[in-house]
Amino acid sequence: MGTAKIITATLILISLFSSFSCSRKPEYTPHIRELMAVLEQDPENNMLYEEVIKELYDKGFYKGALEYSEKLIQLDEHLIFGYLYAGVCYEQAGRWDKAEEYYKKICEEQPETAEGYYRLAVLDYKKGRYADCIKNTKKAIASGSQDALWYLQMMIFLAESYYYNKDLDGAYYILEKVLDLDPFNEDALYCFGLWKLREGKYRESIGLFEKLVSQNTQNMYPYLRLGKAYYHSKEGALAEKAFIDASRFDSTIGILAEIVHVEDFGSVYKDVNTATVKVIEKYSYREGDRYYVRGIVENIGLEVAKWVNVVVRFYDKNNKVILQENCEISPRNLRPEQYTFFSVDIPNSDDIYDVKVEPNWHKRSSSIYLK
């Protein structure tokens, strides 16, 4: 599952959109063209505008959806539908400054609803403004206008914001409230178990992950984390089994099971790098005259990773590298289960089409001594 995937699942529930392409040429479907023709005959019909915008969005024509959203705003500046779709289209274009303007307009027009607040909260989270994210998420939850599932997901999102804002007590308190309402909530169990594992509270972590995997979750990360909790608790056989279960989803995890297996023989696993630094979150956006890339990296392996940095590559539409930035992160020695943030910003350019982030590191030693 992983923190990144949990957060992604949360954001899917509170966001309407997927990838945006500014360069996509409009090859509209017959149904869309028909709707546009009808709208031309009745250009002041708000309902028709909404139907055209939604159809454009649903079919992936985000640039067209943005154009019609802005026309709808001009037609009726008090209708939040236009602000909403203009905001999500700008957000997917990486223009988060423009998206934020539209989401704030939703809050101004309908301060009693959750819509604008939780979308502002998502932007705050992605930018690393966790204190602001907490404030806006609380405002969204206070509206009480959504169903029970939405409420639980928002509470987990709030807990994660507290966690990365360095308020662990607040994060745990919220997760406890979620588990009181839904004792088998997978996302809450995973977050709780992961954070306990990072704290070194292995017995508590084991109980939470055992409860989670008992639900036959179809995801690698709960089994991987359970194996690591067992490993640090000196329960080799159980750790090996959990790693084998995790390897069903990712064969590379099998090396961890092998390492645990040979431990009983006092062996040394030479020249095997089990430090595994991965990007668990990555966000990129344009704000003013700057282009920002930020996120979180984590060591999910068994060995300390030394001299960690992040390589950020910027690509044009032809998938050619136009710029590369190296971002050193702290702490320099990234321990197993430890995470840290990275951030890079460069002058904004219309030539930037895609961004890829790759961690770069050296392991601390050439051998792993298991005794």
If one counts the domains in the chain, the total is 3
Sequence-distant (≥ 6) Cβ neighbours of residue 342 within 8 angstroms: 294, 295, 296, 297, 310, 327, 329, 357
Given 242, 265, 288, which residue is the final one in a domain? 265
Check whether residue 257 and residue 297 sit in a common domain: no
Domain presence at residue 186: no
Domain presence at residue 111: yes
Check whether residue 246 and residue 291 sit in a common domain: no
Check whether residue 150 and residue 69 sit in a common domain: yes
Domain presence at residue 181: no
Given 213, 233, 265, which residue is the final one in a domain? 265
pLDDT in tens, 78-108: 999 999 999 999 998 889 999 999 999 999 9
pLDDT in tens, 121-145: 999 999 999 999 999 999 999 987 7
Give the sign of the dihedral formed by CA 344, CA 9, CA 164, CA 136. positive
CATH of the domain at 356: 2.60.40.2360
Check whether residue 147 and residue 292 sit in a common domain: no
| Mean pLDDT of all residues in 208-234 | 93
* Share of residues in the chain with pLDDT > 90 (%): 69
Check whether residue 89 and residue 199 sit in a common domain: no
Check whether residue 22 and residue 88 sit in a common domain: yes
Check whether residue 126 and residue 211 sit in a common domain: no
Residue 271 pLDDT grade (very low, low, confident, very high; cuts 50, 70, 90) = low
Check whether residue 126 and residue 17 sit in a common domain: yes
Least confident of 115-119, 159-163, 166-170, 359-363: 359-363
Check whether residue 34 and residue 117 sit in a common domain: yes
Domain presence at residue 12: yes
Domain that holds residue 133: 2-164
Least confident of 98-102, 190-194, 257-261: 257-261
Check whether residue 255 and residue 220 sit in a common domain: yes
Confidence (pTM) = 0.85
Given 265, 292, 313, which residue is the final one in a domain? 265
3-state secondary structure string across the chain: CHHHHHHHHHHHHHCCCCCCCCCCCCCCCHHHHHHHHHHHHCCCCHHHHHHHHHHHHHCCCHHHHHHHHHHHHHHCCCCHHHHHHHHHHHHHCCEHHHHHHHHHHHHHHCCCCCHHHHHHHHHHHHHCCHHHHHHHHHHHHHCCCCCHHHHHHHHHHHHHHHHHCCCHHHHHHHHHHHHHHCCCCHHHHHHHHHHHHHHCCHHHHHHHHHHHHCCCCCCHHHHHHHHHHHHHCCCHHHHHHHHHHHHCCCHHHHHHHHHHHHHCCCCEEECCCCCCEEEEEEEEEEECCEEEEEEEEEECCCCCEEEEEEEEEEECCCCCEEEEEEEECCCCCECCCCEEEEEEEEECCCCCCEEEEEEEEEECCCEEECC
Give the sign of the dihedral formed by CA 129, CA 135, CA 138, CA 140. negative
Check whether residue 218 and residue 284 sit in a common domain: no
Q: Has residue 167 got a pLDDT over 80?
A: yes
pLDDT in tens, 277-294: 889 999 999 998 999 999
Check whether residue 150 and residue 30 sit in a common domain: yes
CATH of the domain at 37: 1.25.40.10
Domain presence at residue 39: yes
Domain presence at residue 243: yes
